[in-house]
């Protein structure tokens, strides 16, 4: 009988994922879901052929330098891979994959939830109800912003950006976007392309961020970028927290220059998020749950296993990064 590859799975997986892993691998599970320290991660990887990791495992240059020689592949459960030093992996000869396809619809849904929640002051209203309800019947009580006919600017028109656009059209929003290159007409579906991010900002009544985190995008939404937005614009972020300059956005929210923000991702998450966001009434805040449906989290794990299965079968993993 052929020996199964040994696989370290660093977090507690959805049942479908764990069951398949146990069937096809000599799987080292983490049913207590205890987050590994850097030293414990290296120790746990001793003698394994592959690793299935989450965003909590920081695969730095140092980590790859200490990784046991037996490890040949690191499969990310996530679509994002900013927690993995790809150059270090390549230098070490370790294959790295990610799982970008499973979470498109779930994140697009959350983006629309954030847009609607921010526009209609849902966070403020929910807090009011939990504090005992309301007694103000003024005709302008809790008035928000209608979205029909407004312009939605999408920064990053990949899978998720296009899924957001499709949903937003149903609400009557006019779609604008900036991408590294213009999409084919069938993918644009009538959206207006902007060849610069600056041009997109200037017409975005709602701005939805869907760009990866990299040297070019970090702190993209700073004071200069915010100054280009229409007065009272709404900002939506389901990309990465570090594409936003927290101090600049909070100042703009406090002054009303930005009317509202709907956020699911944050710099310093989960335990070192800027406290200014929670103090503001014009923020609609979620705890990074863009992919948090049973179906999507299961799909992410199964896609990670698809990558591992292909690698150990001598084939090219479908979502290989290096």
DSSP 239-298: S-GGGB-HHHHHHHHHHTSEEEEEES--TTTTT---THHHH-TTEEE--S-TT-SHHHHH
pLDDT at 141 (0 to 100): 93
Is 269 considered catalytic here? yes
Quick check: is 88 in a domain?
A: yes
Quick check: is 320 in a domain?
A: no
Cα separation, 248 vs 255, in Å, equals: 11
Distances (CA, A) of 317 to 36, 60, 75, 233, 281: 26, 22, 10, 42, 46
Does an H or E element contain 52, and which?
strand 50-53
Backbone angles phi, psi at 265, to 5 degrees: -135, 150
Quick check: is 1 in a domain?
A: no
**Are 169 and 194 a contacting pair, CB within 8 Å?**
no
Instruction: Mark whether 96 and 130 lie in a shared domain.
Output: no
Quick check: is 319 in a domain?
A: no
Cα separation, 104 vs 169, in Å, equals: 17
Is 240 considered catalytic here? yes
**Catalytic residue (choose from 83, 274, 288, 320):** 288
Quick: pLDDT tens for 160-172: 999 999 999 999 9
Residue where the block lists tokens 């979620």:
286
**Radius of gyration for the chain, computed over Cα atoms and rounded to the nearest angstrom:** 22
Its domain, for residue 247, covers 104-285
Distances (CA, A) of 33 to 143, 153, 291: 43, 39, 18
Quick check: is 61 in a domain?
A: yes
pLDDT at 1 (0 to 100): 56
Instruction: Mark whether 274 and 152 lie in a shared domain.
Output: yes
Backbone angles phi, psi at 242, to 5 degrees: -80, 5
DSSP class per residue in 126-187: HHHHHTT------TTTT-----TTPEEEEE--SHHHHHHHHHHHHTTPEEEEE-SSPPPHHH
Instruction: Mark whether 117 and 251 lie in a shared domain.
Output: yes
Cα separation, 104 vs 138, in Å, equals: 41
pLDDT at 215 (0 to 100): 87
**Catalytic residue (choose from 269, 274, 295, 320):** 269
Burial of residue 99 (CB within 10 Å: 0-12, 13-18, 19+) is buried
Cα separation, 50 vs 257, in Å, equals: 49
Instruction: Mark whether 146 and 128 lie in a shared domain.
Output: yes
Please identify every stretch of the chain with a pLDDT value under 70, giving residue numbers as ranges.
Answer: 1
172-193 burial, b for 16+ CB within 10 Å, e for fewer?
ebbbbbbbeeebeeeebeebee
Instruction: Mark whether 159 and 22 lie in a shared domain.
Output: no
Residue where the block lists tokens 């600049």:
248
What is the tally of structural domains in the chain? Answer: 2
Quick check: is 208 in a domain?
A: yes
**Catalytic residue (choose from 120, 151, 240, 303):** 240
Q: Which two tokens stand for residue 8?
A: 């370290």
Nearest to 67 by CA among 90, 42, 86, 89: 42
pLDDT at 2 (0 to 100): 78
Instruction: Mark whether 149 and 260 lie in a shared domain.
Output: yes
Nearest to 207 by CA among 197, 195, 215, 216: 197
Burial of residue 119 (CB within 10 Å: 0-12, 13-18, 19+) is buried
Instruction: Mark whether 128 and 258 lie in a shared domain.
Output: yes
């Amino acid at each position: 009988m052929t020996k199964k590859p040994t696989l370290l799975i660093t977090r507690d997986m959805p049942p479908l994922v764990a069951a398949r892993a146990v069937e096809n691998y000599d799987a080292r599970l983490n049913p207590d879901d205890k987050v590994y320290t850097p030293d414990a991660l290296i120790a746990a990887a001793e003698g394994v052929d592959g690793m299935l990791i989450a965003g909590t495992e920081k695969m730095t240059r140092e980590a790859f330098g200490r990784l046991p020689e037996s490890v040949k592949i690191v499969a990310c459960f996530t679509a994002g891979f900013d927690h993995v030093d790809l150059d270090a992996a390549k230098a070490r000869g370790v294959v790295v994959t990610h799982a970008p396809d499973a979470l498109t619809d779930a994140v697009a849904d959350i983006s629309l939830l954030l847009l609607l929640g921010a526009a209609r002051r849902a966070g403020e209203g929910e807090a009011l109800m939990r504090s005992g309800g309301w007694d103000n019947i003024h005709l302008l009580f809790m008035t928000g912003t209608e979205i029909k006919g407004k312009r939605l600017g999408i920064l990053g028109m990949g899978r998720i950006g296009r899924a957001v656009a499709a949903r937003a059209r149903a609400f009557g929003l006019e779609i604008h976007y900036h991408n590294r290159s213009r999409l084919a007409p069938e993918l644009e579906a009538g959206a207006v392309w902007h060849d610069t991010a600056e041009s997109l900002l200037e017409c975005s009544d709602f701005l939805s961020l869907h760009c990866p985190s990299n040297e070019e995008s970090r702190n993209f939404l700073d004071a200069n970028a915010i100054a280009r937005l229409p007065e009272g614009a709404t900002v939506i972020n389901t990309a990465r927290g570090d594409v936003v300059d927290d101090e600049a956005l909070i100042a703009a929210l406090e002054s009303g220059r930005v009317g509202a923000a709907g956020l699911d991702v944050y710099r310093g998450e989960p335990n070192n998020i800027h406290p200014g966001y929670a103090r503001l009434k014009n923020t609609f805040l979620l705890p990074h749950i863009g992919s948090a449906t049973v179906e999507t989290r299961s799909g992410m794990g199964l896609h990670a296993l698809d990558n591992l299965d292909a690698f150990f079968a001598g084939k090219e993993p479908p979502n290989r990064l290096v």
